[in-house]
Amino acid sequence: MKKLLEIMNWFYQKINTFKKSRFVKDIIRLQSGSIISRLISVASAIIIARVLGATEYGLYSLIFGFVSMATTFMGVEGGSVVLVLLPQAFAKKDRQEVNNIISYFIKVNLLTALIVGLIIVILAPFISDWLYGNYAIGSLARIIIVGTILSSFSEALTLCLQAIRKIKYFVIIDTLNNFLAVIVPLALVFKFGLIGIVWGNFFNNFLFFIIAIIIYGLWTKRNPILPKYHEIFSGVFKVKIKKYFTFGFSMLVDKKIVAFSSSLPLMILGMFVPPAVVGYFKIAQKYVGLIGVLTKPIASLLMVQLPKSLVDGAYVFKKNFEKVSFYTPILSLPFIAVAVIFAKLLVTVFYGTQYLPVVPLIYWLAPVPIITGFGIGLGAAFRVLNNVKTSIITNSLVIILGLPIMYYLIKFYGVNGAIAVSLLKAIIPTAILLFYIRSYLTKMVKKENSL
């Protein structure tokens, strides 16, 4: 009995310790916002799937898959530069550096929109006609791409709030954005169908662009370190891109490679199967991806937390990284199990019997979020250790060497081949990079202990 009381007291103390941790509090806030946003997104996806039907939903998936692929080539990794460097500038109360970082972010997005974005908008219909024999996919996609360009400027506000750890405000604004992203397209889909969703997506990005401008202007009155609009406008012309671009280039390449790789199975699948099958695969991906509601906030905070761990020493960094890598997939297991058990019921109730072919795909794709959960801290770790090139090389080789295999599997085995590709893409790079980072950190700890 005494031993049991000691164990219970130990758990109670641990819970109190966790409750006082700012990191834990921020995770809870982020997860709360993420859960609300994900529920809104799921409800929207269900309504859209029911309104459009299997075939049109497949076209919808191809349009947004095309946008995802196209926007991979847009933008410079200004976001990571903001998240890594802005907290340091705020801590030092270096107002000029804060202005330089925000001005850099705006400048690179503006240049990208005028150069790469314009080219993609012009060529989109011709590329989709070449890939799928469907000119309309690219025509509709370019409307969304223009909206995506606008959203990249709105992102400056949320990045600032995230970087300076104003998580409560970040969650509120991000949730508002996600809510509008659902409500505006839904307001048009019932009357205009697929075209209504496309224009609704554009109108939402335009609306939030205006909202972000207003909110940032109000926020500068509360926080004197944030630069005013006239300072940012002036800074856009003065800031030197090279200073920050060199720092963010490797992160840019790594992020774009991962995004490109994620888009490949769906895009290749669209070349060989009917649109309805593409829609089934997309729904299955979204269904198993719901576990991201738990892991995404952890990944976001690790970008801020791991640099602090490294200051405390290599051993602390390694210990924190290993804890997150181990517990994230373990915590996700019960949720995946429940999702798999109730998959048939949920798909039938929410999507309808016409989408029952999605259920077997869910069963096969279920291991993907568990596997990737082991690598939840890899991106942040490589960035903090300034060793992103290893991630770039690994992911590039996986695409280059694996592309013929992906093409072969999907061409001859259809959606089953796409599932195999998704599993292989999760297992191979995660395993290689985990093995590498563990060896790298072990050497760092040994070197630290020898000093």
Assess if residue 9 is contained within a domain: no
Region of residue 160 (left: phi > 0; alpha: psi -120 to 50; beta: else): alpha
Higher pLDDT, 296 or 255: 255
Q: Using CA atoms, how far apart are residues 407 and 376, in angstroms rounded to an integer?
A: 27
Residue 178 has pLDDT above 80, yes or no: no
422 and 390 in a common domain: yes
- 16 domain-assigned: no
User: Is residue 414 one of the residues assigned to a domain?
Assistant: yes
Do 220 and 122 have their domain in common?
A: yes
Tokens encoding 398 = 């996986």
Residue recorded with tokens 């991906």: 285
Q: What is the pTM of this model?
A: 0.66
Do residue 231 and residue 272 come from a single domain? no
Same domain, 228 and 349: no
Are 36 and 83 members of one domain? yes
pLDDT at 256: 76
CA angle 200, 44, 271 (to 5 degrees): 80
Cβ 109 vs Cβ 284: under 8 Å: no
Dihedral sign, Cα of residue 131, residue 137, residue 141, residue 143? positive
| Domain co-membership, 410 together with 350 | yes
* The residue type at 377: G
Average pLDDT over residues 376-403: 85
Domain that holds residue 87: 22-239
Number of domains into which the chain is organized: 2
DSSP label at 343? Answer: H
Tokens 């191809």, residue located: 62
What mean pLDDT do residues 50-58 have? 85
Residues 188 and 270 in one domain: no
Do 178 and 32 share a structural domain? Answer: yes
1 domain-assigned: no
* 184 and 310 inside one domain: no
CB of 331 closer than 8 Å to CB of 27: no
Q: What single letter denotes the amino acid at residue 40?
A: I
Higher pLDDT residue, 76 or 381? 381
Q: What is the pLDDT of residues 84-109, one digit of tens each?
A: 677 777 777 788 888 888 888 888 87
Q: Is residue 402 part of a domain?
A: yes
Report the range of poorest mean pLDDT among 9-13, 119-123, 159-163, 341-345. 9-13
* Residue at 93 is within a domain: yes
CA 155, 194, 422, 288 dihedral sign is positive
Domain annotation covers residue 246: no
User: Rounded CA gap, 67 and 55, in Å?
Assistant: 19
Same domain? 235 vs 257: no
Instruction: Provide DSSP, 114-126.
Output: IIIIHHHHHHHHH
Which pair of tokens denotes residue 417?
A: 């081949």
What is the rounded distance in angstroms from the CA atom of residue 256 to the CA atom of residue 251? 8
| Amino acid at residue number 402 | G
H-type alpha helices, 92-227: 95-112, 118-132, 135-163, 167-192, 194-222
Same domain, 100 and 162: yes
In the predicted model, is pLDDT for residue 303 greater than 60? no
Q: pLDDT band at 166, cuts 50/70/90?
A: low
Residues 6+ apart with CB under 8 A from 325: 374, 375, 376, 377, 434
257 and 234 in a common domain: no
Structural domain contains residue 157 = yes
**Which string of b and e fits 11-21 if b means at least 16 CB within 10 Å?**
eeeeeeeeeee
